[in-house]
Structure 1
Amino acid sequence: MKKILVPTDFSIQAENALKVAAQLAKKYDCEIYLLHILEIPLQEVDPLSSSSSLPEAIYFMKLAHKQFETLKGKDYLENLIIHETVEIQEIFKGVFHVCKKHDIDLIIMGSNGVSGLKEMLIGSNTEKVVRTSETPVLVIKNEHQTFKVKDFVFASDFKDESKATYEKAIGFAKILKAKIHLLMVNTPNKFITSAKSKNRMKKFVEAFDFPNHSMNIYNDISIEKGIMNFSQSIKADLIGMSTHGRQGISHFFNGSISEDLVNHAKRPVITFKI
Structure 2
Amino acid sequence: MKKLLVPTDFSKEAENALKVAAQLAKNHHCEIYLLHFIEMPLQQIDVINNHSDLPEAMFFMKLARQKFEEVLDSDYLKDITVHDIVEFGENFANLSNIGKEKGADLIVMGSHGASGLKEMFIGSNAEKVVRTSEIPVLVIKNEHDNFDINDFVFASDFKNDNKETYKQASELAEKFNAKIHLLMVNTVSQFSTTTKAKNRIKNFIKDYPFDNYTVNIYNDTSVENGILNFSKDINADLIGISTHGRQGIAHFFNGSISEDLVNHAKKPVITFKI
Question: What TM-score does the superposition give when structure 1 sets the normalisation length?
Answer: 0.96
Is the contact made by 2:93 and 2:133 (CA closer than 8 Å) also made in structure 1? no
Q: Which moved more, 1:226-235 or 1:88-97?
A: 88-97
TM-align CA RMSD: 1.3
Residue 67 of structure 2 aligns with an amino acid whose one-letter code is Q
Deviations 1:26-82 (A, max 9, x none): 1111100000012322113259xxxx9822112111111110011000111111100
Is the contact made by 2:139 and 2:268 (CA closer than 8 Å) also made in structure 1? yes
Q: Which moved more, 1:198-207 or 1:12-21?
A: 198-207
Pairing 1:198–2:188 present: no
Residue 264 of structure 1 aligns with which residue?
264
Is the contact made by 2:14 and 2:110 (CA closer than 8 Å) also made in structure 1? yes
Is the contact made by 1:91 and 1:125 (CA closer than 8 Å) also made in structure 2? no
Q: Following the alignment from structure 1 to structure 2, what is the Cα–Cα distance between the partners of residues 142 and 46?
A: 37
Residue 156 of structure 1 aligns with an amino acid whose one-letter code is S
Pairing 1:27–2:27 present: yes
Is the contact made by 1:41 and 1:89 (CA closer than 8 Å) also made in structure 2? yes
CA shift in 2, pair 1:46/1:21, >3 Å: closer
Residue 171 of structure 2 aligns with an amino acid whose one-letter code is G
Q: Following the alignment from structure 2 to structure 1, what is the Cα–Cα distance between the partners of residues 7 and 59?
A: 20
| SS class of match (1:22) | helix
| SS class of match (1:148) | coil
Residue 245 of structure 2 aligns with which residue?
245
Task: Describe how 1:1-274 pairs up with structure 2 within 5 A.
Answer: 1-46=1-46, 54-274=54-274
Deviations 1:122-146 (A, max 9, x none): 0011110011001000000000000
CA shift in 2, pair 1:117/1:4, >3 Å: same
CA shift in 2, pair 1:254/1:53, >3 Å: farther
Structure 1: 4+ residue segments shifted above 6 A: none
Q: Following the alignment from structure 2 to structure 1, what is the Cα–Cα distance between the partners of residues 20 and 98?
A: 20
Q: Which moved more, 1:189-198 or 1:170-179?
A: 189-198
Residue 223 of structure 1 aligns with an amino acid whose one-letter code is V
Q: Following the alignment from structure 2 to structure 1, what is the Cα–Cα distance between the partners of residues 156 and 108?
A: 22
Residue 165 of structure 1 aligns with an amino acid whose one-letter code is T
| SS class of match (2:158) | coil
| SS class of match (2:126) | helix
Q: Following the alignment from structure 1 to structure 2, what is the Cα–Cα distance between the partners of residues 41 and 239?
A: 37
Identity of aligned residues (%): 64
Residue 135 of structure 2 aligns with an amino acid whose one-letter code is T
Q: Following the alignment from structure 2 to structure 1, what is the Cα–Cα distance between the partners of residues 16 and 9?
A: 12
Q: Which moved more, 1:158-167 or 1:31-40?
A: 31-40
Give structure 1 stretches of 5+ with no counterpart. Answer: none
Question: What TM-score does the superposition give when structure 2 sets the normalisation length?
Answer: 0.96
Q: Following the alignment from structure 1 to structure 2, what is the Cα–Cα distance between the partners of residues 27 and 107?
A: 16
Aligned length: 270
Q: Following the alignment from structure 2 to structure 1, what is the Cα–Cα distance between the partners of residues 159 and 172?
A: 20
Is the contact made by 1:87 and 1:94 (CA closer than 8 Å) also made in structure 2? no
Q: Following the alignment from structure 1 to structure 2, what is the Cα–Cα distance between the partners of residues 194 and 97?
A: 41
Q: Following the alignment from structure 2 to structure 1, what is the Cα–Cα distance between the partners of residues 11 and 97?
A: 22
CA shift in 2, pair 1:94/1:88, >3 Å: farther
Q: Following the alignment from structure 1 to structure 2, what is the Cα–Cα distance between the partners of residues 39 and 173?
A: 37
CA shift in 2, pair 1:86/1:62, >3 Å: same
Q: Following the alignment from structure 2 to structure 1, what is the Cα–Cα distance between the partners of residues 208 and 15?
A: 36
Give structure 2 stretches of 5+ with no counterpart. Answer: none
